[in-house]
Amino acid sequence: MSQDLALNAFGLTDVGRARPTNEDVVLVRPDLDLYAVADGAGGHRSGEIASSLAVRSLENYFGATVRRTHEQPEFDRFGIPFGARRLSAAILKANRDVIEISKSSPEHKGMGTTVVAACFSPRSGLMHVGHAGDSRCYRLRGGHLEQLTQDHSLLTDVLEQRPELDDSVLERLPKSVVTRALGLDARLRLSLRSYAVVAGDRYLLCSDGLSGPVPAADLAAALSARANAEAVAKDLVRRANDAGGRDNIAVLVVDCTHGPETKSVPPPAPGRAATLGAADAASDPELLILGIEELESLDAHSASDDLLKALEGLLGKRP
């Protein structure tokens, strides 16, 4: 890692208090500037295979492209950071790997995993975040907590297309259903963003086993503690278990201990930090990947253009 950007990270998973197995996986590879959380789903213990395979594929791809990284310019001729393209390619490769294994035997059929991954580019001082599903990335900067990812969930998709729906209608939607994940479709639509890193930043990558039961205010309080990444990560796992531990818990905390300085840090958009996690605070933690898990009221295409058509009976037709 460049002397201009120094990181300290710690990640761990916990089975929680209700699940028999742990299907969450964290990846901490400071030598590759790569960090990730994967939350698997599928029968016959396939969920843990999918999440483990996904992070292994990510680190293998990053390991195999180290030399190319040094040979490439930081930005391509379109102004896109090479690090962002590298992360996107790695996640898409992981998706293909999960699909290939899921087709290899009947017991692996239908397995999938959410993923949120972050890589850091020392030359540019940028962090690139890619994700599919509802595993999240947060940033604590200047005392303000901001969610950097947006869940690929049924609720989010419906709100994007039908914002006028009454809350009573939204409450009838199946909870904790994700509409994008590795293993779901070879044409995975990945969300990818790049952010400037500032000294003192603290980043959190986590599965919904943490973000679901633990309110945003509690996440902010834990992340604001003057403690190292390991202590904070363990405190967050404790909070998730104290809140019921209904799901597996994955927590990965990354601190920027040295980097570019800034004197004035603008707060997040009004209401952003205050609303983090509010919509899913009471959600059933059971992870359902739309198109993989069977869901009577939905079909396998409802995650894309046919979403509203598949939900007409539940939501009601447009006026």
Tens digit of each residue's pLDDT (9 = 90 or more) over 269-285: 333 333 333 333 333 44
Q: 116 and 252 in contact (C-beta within 8 Å)?
A: no
**CB crowding 119-146: b at 16 or more within 10 Å, else e:** bbbbbbbbbbbbbbbbbbbbbbbeeebb
Give the Cα separation of 280 and 269 in Å (integer): 20
Please name which of 256, 146, 253, 148 lies closest in space to residue 201, comparing C-alpha atoms. Answer: 256
* Superfamily covering domain 6-261+271-300: PPM-type phosphatase domain (3.60.40.10)
Residues 6+ apart with CB under 8 A from 317: none
Give the Cα separation of 180 and 191 in Å (integer): 10
Q: What pLDDT was estimated at residue 76?
A: 87
Q: Tell me, rounded to whole angstroms, the distance of Cα 179 from its chain centroid.
A: 13
Give the Cα separation of 238 and 224 in Å (integer): 16
Q: 212 and 283 in contact (C-beta within 8 Å)?
A: yes
pLDDT tens string for the chain (319 positions)? 444 889 999 999 999 999 999 999 999 999 999 999 999 987 667 899 999 999 999 999 999 999 988 888 888 888 889 999 999 999 999 999 999 999 888 888 889 999 999 999 988 999 999 999 999 999 999 999 999 999 998 877 777 778 887 788 777 777 678 899 999 889 999 999 999 999 999 999 999 999 999 999 999 999 999 999 999 999 999 999 999 999 999 999 999 999 888 643 333 333 333 333 333 333 344 455 554 433 333 333 334 444 555 555 555 555 4
Give the Cα separation of 199 and 190 in Å (integer): 28
Taking the model in full, what pTM does it have?
0.81
51: enclosing H helix or E strand: helix 46-64
Classify burial at 70, counting beta carbons within 10 Å of its beta carbon; exposed 0-12, middle 13-18, buried 19 or more. exposed
Please name which of 110, 145, 130, 169 lies closest in space to residue 271, comparing C-alpha atoms. Answer: 145
